[in-house]
Amino acid sequence: MDQAKPKGAGKSSFELIDTQILEQMLPIHKGSVILDLACGKGLYSLFLSQLSGPSGLVYAVDLWEEGLEILEQDALKKEAANILTIKADATREIDIEAHSLDLCLMATVLHDFKEMNADQTVLKQVL
């Protein structure tokens, strides 16, 4: 059974940002372990993959299966082997080892949580 496409699926703010400024602002170095929470089709994930390099790891998490498949195809084309996609609900506990992340990026996601009526306790943990 096909899952309904989430309301915000397919949209991204990535095309609107200055990636040089983003790179300067994020504390990412080669080998960083990053969570791109609610990654969609993974434009930020691909960017973060370049910054963290082959020794780094980007967990790309989303409920939108089609978006994750698009990301996996793009990652193969760009030889971004350091991206691990995970189909999961960003408002629930995600199976990633505690204290293993250097950074969590949530780009244009919080409004979706409000729309989903996400549990406030979960949102406080995420924030």
| 62 and 90 Cβ atoms separated by less than 8 Å | yes
Average pLDDT over residues 40-52: 96
Does 85 reside within a domain? yes
Does 44 reside within a domain? yes
pLDDT at 1: 42
pLDDT at 88: 94
Predicted model pTM: 0.80
pLDDT(7) > 80: no
Write out the H or E segment, with its range, that includes residue 86: strand 83-87
pLDDT at 127: 47
Residue 83: give the domain boundaries: 28-91+98-126
Sheet holding 103-105, edge to edge: 83-87, 57-62, 33-37, 103-105
Does 71 reside within a domain? yes
Does 9 reside within a domain? no
Alpha-carbon distance of 121 to 27, in angstroms, equals: 27
Write out the H or E segment, with its range, that includes residue 45: helix 43-52
Residue 33, CA distances (Å) to 54, 62, 70 in order: 11, 17, 21
Q: What CATH number does residue 110 fall under?
A: 3.40.50.150
pLDDT(32) > 60: yes
Average pLDDT over residues 107-125: 56
Does 112 reside within a domain? yes
120 confidence band (pLDDT: 50, 70, 90): low
Domain count for the chain: 1
pLDDT(40) > 60: yes
